Amino acid sequence: MDANTLFSQALGLGAQWNVVKSEMDVPQRQLRLELDFPAGTKFACPRCGQLCAVHDTVDKEWRHLDFWQHRTDLRARVPRVTCAEHGVLQVEVPWARAGSGFTLMMEGMILLLAQQMSVSAAARLLRTTDHRLWRVIDHYVTAAHRDKDWSKVRRILVDETSARRGRRYVTNVIDAESSDLLMMAKDRGADTLGEFAAAMTKHGGRPEQITEIVMDMSPAYIAEAAAYFPGARVVFDAFHIMSRPQGDRQSKAARRVRRSRINMAGQALDKVRKDLARQGADLRGGLWALRGNAWTRNSEQQERRSQLMAAYPALGRAVALREFLQDALAGRERAQLEGWLAWAQRSRLAAFRDLARTIKRHFNGILAYMETRLTNGVMEAINGLLQLAKRIARGFRNFHYFRLAAYLKAGGLNLQAPRLLPT
């Protein structure tokens, strides 16, 4: 078996094509393969499939997987056929996608590497440019996301995440059942739910099918939910009211996300503590002694906490109110939450009276959380995947690339990636 026959079989070219010439440049570690078809070969019209005679040819070149650590390039004169119905058209070759400068097997390798490392690292490994790889990723991810079926989506989570060290944000819409990232919108408060409602019809769904929307208490989100999903129940994420530590089982990423959330109960307690400090109270060591739960404090902090609560009754009431609210949100009893509201409103603590008014304004959404137990807690896992997406996209320098990487990692997409071996 000669080299050209060997390469033809390795490429899986089929009956119409063969390798007719192979050149190996050992110093440059490069292999060039020239493909051609026998004279008189007829090709199918790209539109109707009718076998047609060759009109002329166009020279094309594609990057292929390396052979024996040698960069491999394929060259061929691609036929244009004359179809009686559709005129002169360029045929499709079996080894490459139309318009791509890579073979299908090379594109399969690109998609595989892009899920494991940054695109820049993959480009260095494959000895090509970031831009060329992003074109491949864009094609497959965009197609897979466009074909994503949303007809069974019933509950959605809406949440913001920092895209670049707290300075830029993106808004994510997630399927509460599958945890798939359905949509990423640039910036926050930019009519995200309106954009999602419009996208639903393109994905086989309808806005009317959404039954619950989990969100924070953003007035913009509330208004959008009422406008675009009037039949959906709004559920306010309890983590925005009180972030409850869950012990050492949490990952670093989970704790970082929890710290970034708006902990309104914690903020109210801190305000009481700071007000007392301004009045001359000796609260040294009180910051960490008052935060968290019993299992997060050491014995010294626990003792200091007891001393402060005994010395300053207002501080003791604030701690008790925070813990009572924590217990109320952990339960399912409307009466318990209403009891907390009554206590907070007569507590003589301005911070907790303000918090009570906030909870009262959003009472139905908070009650919906207590009944459904739906939260944006899944965002902790999603944010971990988004951190990987940022690394793939080399940070948040290009929103389009970042969104592609996010869909690739967290979108639950069926990529229809090319096979790495010939069929």
Mean pLDDT, residues 397-402: 84
Q: Which two tokens stand for residue 205?
A: 């769904």
- By the 8 A CB rule, do 155 and 212 touch? yes
Q: For the ranges 79-88, 188-197, 234-243, 282-291, which has the lowest average pLDDT?
A: 234-243
Instruction: Answer whether residue 374 shows pLDDT above 50.
Output: yes
Confidence (pLDDT) at 259: 40
Instruction: Answer whether residue 254 shows pLDDT above 70.
Output: no
Confidence (pLDDT) at 244: 37
CATH class, 155-238+377-410 region: alpha beta
Q: For the ranges 47-51, 372-376, 407-411, which has the lowest average pLDDT?
A: 372-376
> Is the C-alpha dihedral spanning 94, 97, 99, 102 positive or negative?
negative
Instruction: Answer whether residue 165 shows pLDDT above 80.
Output: no
- By the 8 A CB rule, do 95 and 62 touch? yes
In the structure, what pLDDT confidence band is assigned to residue 190 with cuts at 50, 70 and 90? low
Confidence (pLDDT) at 10: 85
Q: Could you report the per-residue pLDDT of 114-155, keeping only the tens digit for each?
A: 988 989 999 999 999 999 999 999 999 999 999 999 999 999
In the structure, what pLDDT confidence band is assigned to residue 189 with cuts at 50, 70 and 90? low
Q: Locate the domains of the chain by residue range.
A: 1-95, 155-238+377-410, 242-247+263-372
Q: Which candidate, 28, 400, 417, places its Cα nearest to that of 185?
A: 400
Instruction: Answer whether residue 317 shows pLDDT above 90.
Output: yes
Q: For the ranges 2-11, 112-121, 380-389, 409-418, which has the lowest average pLDDT?
A: 380-389
User: Which amino acid, 8?
Assistant: S
Q: Which candidate, 341, 380, 417, places its Cα nearest to that of 237?
A: 380
**Nearest-angstrom CA–CA distance, 105 and 317:** 67
Confidence (pLDDT) at 256: 39
Q: How far is CA 310 from CA 204, 230, 303, 313, in A?
A: 61, 49, 11, 6
Confidence (pLDDT) at 89: 97
What is the phi/psi pair of residue 172, to 5°? -115, 140
The proportion of the chain whose per-residue pLDDT surpasses 90, expressed as a percent, equals 61
Mean pLDDT, residues 363-385: 83
Mean pLDDT, residues 34-61: 96
Q: Residue count of the chain, please give it.
A: 423
Q: Which two tokens stand for residue 222?
A: 């509330």
Q: Which candidate, 363, 420, 407, places its Cα nearest to that of 170?
A: 407
Name the CA dihedral angle for 217, 222, 225, 228, rounded to a multiple of 10 degrees.
-150
Q: Could you report the per-residue pLDDT of 235-245, keeping only the tens digit for each?
A: 987 766 764 33
Read off the DSSP letter of residue 210.
-
Mean pLDDT, residues 314-333: 90
The secondary structure of 142-175 as a DSSP string is HHHHHT---TT--EEEEEEEESSTTSSEEEEEEE
**Nearest-angstrom CA–CA distance, 280 and 282:** 6
Summary mean pLDDT of the chain: 87
Residue 278: other Cβ atoms inside 10 A? 8
**Nearest-angstrom CA–CA distance, 191 and 335:** 35
Residue that wins the pLDDT comparison between 116 and 208: 208
Instruction: Answer whether residue 253 shows pLDDT above 60.
Output: no
In the structure, what pLDDT confidence band is assigned to residue 21 with cuts at 50, 70 and 90? very high
Q: Which candidate, 360, 368, 364, 376, places its Cα nearest to that of 332?
A: 368
Confidence (pLDDT) at 240: 65
Q: How far is CA 400 from CA 2, 109, 186, 375, in A?
A: 47, 22, 9, 28
Q: Which candidate, 182, 176, 172, places its Cα nearest to that of 150?
A: 182
